[in-house]
Amino acid sequence: MRQKVFVLGANGKVGREFLSQVSSLDSFQSGKPHPTDIVGLADSKHFGLFPGGVEPARLSRLAEGRLLHYKHNLIDIRDNFNGVMGSSNQREIIKAVNQMGLDGDVVFVDATANHDEMSRFHSNVIASTNNKLVTANKNPIALGDYDDYYELTSDPTRYKYSATVGAGIGIVPWLHERAAMNDTVRKMEASLSGTGGFITTEIAKERPLSEVIAEAVEEGYAEPDFRDDLNGLDIARKLVIMAREAGYNVDIKDVDIERFLPDEYFDEELSADDCLNKIAAEFDQVMAARIADAKKRKKSIKYVGSFNIVDGKPVMKVGFKEFDETTPFGQLSGTDNRIEVTTDIYNPENSNMYKVEGPGAGLAVTAAAIRQDLFTILPIVRRSYAVASV
Ligand SMILES: NC(=O)c1ccc[n+]([C@@H]2O[C@H](COP(=O)([O-])OP(=O)(O)OC[C@H]3O[C@@H](n4cnc5c(N)ncnc54)[C@H](OP(=O)(O)O)[C@@H]3O)[C@@H](O)[C@H]2O)c1
């Protein structure tokens, strides 16, 4: 059975990597029993719907950016593949899918970073169509209220989001299973930010914070305005998804966030370059002293998210925390994520808590997590790949 997939955010970093993996690993030429047919592509301005699917070679060129202008690509694909084009508006897209007689056959992939429009789109797909949706975009399930989250996620055969936390590290389905099995989650500690992990690792080597931030931007671990990665919001969104998956009715405003830098560095009047200069002049020393002090006490400073039950209520925090240097968190290095979960069954008094560690972010693993979700919602999933070819 061919799975028909419509990619929103197809021109972005995750979207392109996804198209690249699909064209090489999942296409009908790959010999897979359930190949992926890309039937729709959209960026923020335009969409194209091609009911017969787009050929892998063209997808691969699109993913590599070798076809230049996105709108022209869509026109070109439409002319070759008998499709329709329109402005990238959620109602138009759903209307076009219906008009083509594809309702119920399409899986939308959300590889955008959009909030309002995509939240409406997700709700519409789940409430008003028979289609399915896989998302790497955290916003619709983390920033909306709990009822919206519940509506979206209540049918796991239609809505998947493994890539939103830990990029396919497996924590989302694992937590979902805990709730389903009445194994109450009591505590979670998580290093969930690749940028935060990289920076705390490098400054522990006595490098100046400003220099390390500049390198994180240069290497693509952080956005050009690095403050978007250091405001704690990304970790907070992941923490909310994890807590909700574990069965707790929580909200993003419940998260107590300590930003990576003092508030004055987030002043909107301050450009990213000026902010970096200000850090070099005023904050490098403060951070270095803090690291040195922790080191003297054999502690390692990490930027983490935590979930605890206090007086019967969930308490969520994002911020700096000291760990003994000898602990796995203390030794965590680079952009890797680590998540520890204590439940009624998984706890130190019983066997032990649940621990998972892995890349947590990055284009390849994020795109693979989307493909993994697509695989799990195929109506028939039989084991069909017997031998690894090396
Ligand atoms: N990078 C990672 O390692 C990673 C890991 C896990 C999850 N994620 C998540 O994956 C998502 C994509 O990340 P990215 O780094 O690929 O972002 P990106 O490069 O900024 O790409 C986002 C894409 O979304 C498109 N877009 C925006 N609004 C849209 C709309 N209303 N309809 C259709 N397309 C729309 C943009 O189109 P234009 O080109 O027209 O602006 C752009 O092509 C984000 O939510 C991110 O948090 C990323």
Tell which one of 17, 44, 125, 135 to mutate to probe ligand 1, the residue whose CB is within 8 A of the most ligand atoms. 44
Q: What is the dihedral of CA 54, 57, 58, 63, to 10 degrees?
A: 110
The confidence score (pLDDT) of residue 382 equals 60
Tell which one of 21, 43, 68, 231 to mutate to probe ligand 1, the residue whose CB is within 8 A of the most ligand atoms. 43
The confidence score (pLDDT) of residue 250 equals 98
Q: What is the topology classification, in CATH, of domain 3-169+365-376?
A: Rossmann fold (3.40.50)
Question: 229 C-alpha vs ligand 1 centroid, how far in Å?
Answer: 15
Q: Where in the chain is the domain with CATH 3.30.360.10?
A: 179-358
Ligand 1 and 88: CB distance under 6 A: yes
Question: 56 C-alpha vs ligand 1 centroid, how far in Å?
Answer: 21
Half-sphere exposure of 158 (CA within 13 A, CB side): 19
Listed residue (174, 165, 139) closest to 366, CA to CA: 165
Ligand 1 and 56: CB distance under 6 A: no
Distance CA 230, CA 243 (A): 21
Residue whose CA lies nearest to ligand 1 atom number 28: 44
Ligand 1 and 45: CB distance under 6 A: yes
Question: 17 C-alpha vs ligand 1 centroid, how far in Å?
Answer: 11
Ligand 1 and 299: CB distance under 6 A: no
End-to-end alpha-carbon separation of the chain, Å? 26
Nearest-atom index, ligand 1, CA of 362: 3
Ligand 1 and 48: CB distance under 6 A: no
Ligand 1 and 19: CB distance under 6 A: no
Question: 163 near 110, Cβ under 8 Å?
Answer: no
Listed as own residue / partner, the contacts of 290-293 with beta carbons closer than 8 Å and 24 or more positions apart are 291/203, 291/204, 291/206, 292/206
Q: pLDDT tens, position by position, for the chain (390 residues)?
A: 899 999 999 999 999 999 999 999 998 888 888 899 999 999 999 999 999 899 888 888 888 876 556 777 788 788 777 789 898 889 999 999 999 999 999 999 999 999 999 999 999 999 999 999 999 999 999 999 999 999 999 999 999 999 999 988 999 999 999 999 999 999 999 999 999 999 999 999 999 999 999 999 998 888 899 999 999 999 999 999 999 999 999 999 999 999 999 999 999 999 999 999 999 999 999 999 999 999 999 999 999 999 999 999 999 999 999 999 999 999 999 999 999 999 999 999 998 999 999 997 789 999 999 999 999 999 766 666 556 666
Ligand 1 and 361: CB distance under 6 A: yes
Tell which one of 13, 70, 135 to mutate to probe ligand 1, the residue whose CB is within 8 A of the most ligand atoms. 13
Nearest-atom index, ligand 1, CA of 114: 28
In this structure, what token pair is assigned to residue 128? 């008003």
Ligand 1 and 166: CB distance under 6 A: no
Question: 22 C-alpha vs ligand 1 centroid, how far in Å?
Answer: 17
Question: 113 C-alpha vs ligand 1 centroid, how far in Å?
Answer: 4
Tell which one of 112, 134, 221 to mutate to probe ligand 1, the residue whose CB is within 8 A of the most ligand atoms. 112
The confidence score (pLDDT) of residue 380 equals 67
Residue whose CA lies nearest to ligand 1 atom number 29: 44
Tell me the CATH number of domain 179-358, given options 3.40.50.1360, 3.10.20.520, 3.40.30.10, 3.30.360.10. 3.30.360.10
Question: 136 C-alpha vs ligand 1 centroid, how far in Å?
Answer: 9
Residue whose CA lies nearest to ligand 1 atom number 20: 12
The confidence score (pLDDT) of residue 381 equals 60
Nearest-atom index, ligand 1, CA of 47: 33
Q: Where in the chain is the domain with CATH 3.40.50.720?
A: 3-169+365-376
Distance CA 68, CA 281 (A): 42
Residue whose CA lies nearest to ligand 1 atom number 15: 13
Q: Which residues fall within 8 angstroms of residue 201, CB to CB, at 6 or more apart?
A: 332, 333, 334
Q: Which residues fall within 8 angstroms of residue 85, CB to CB, at 6 or more apart?
A: 46, 47, 48, 49, 74, 75, 78
The confidence score (pLDDT) of residue 129 equals 97
The confidence score (pLDDT) of residue 192 equals 96
pTM: 0.94
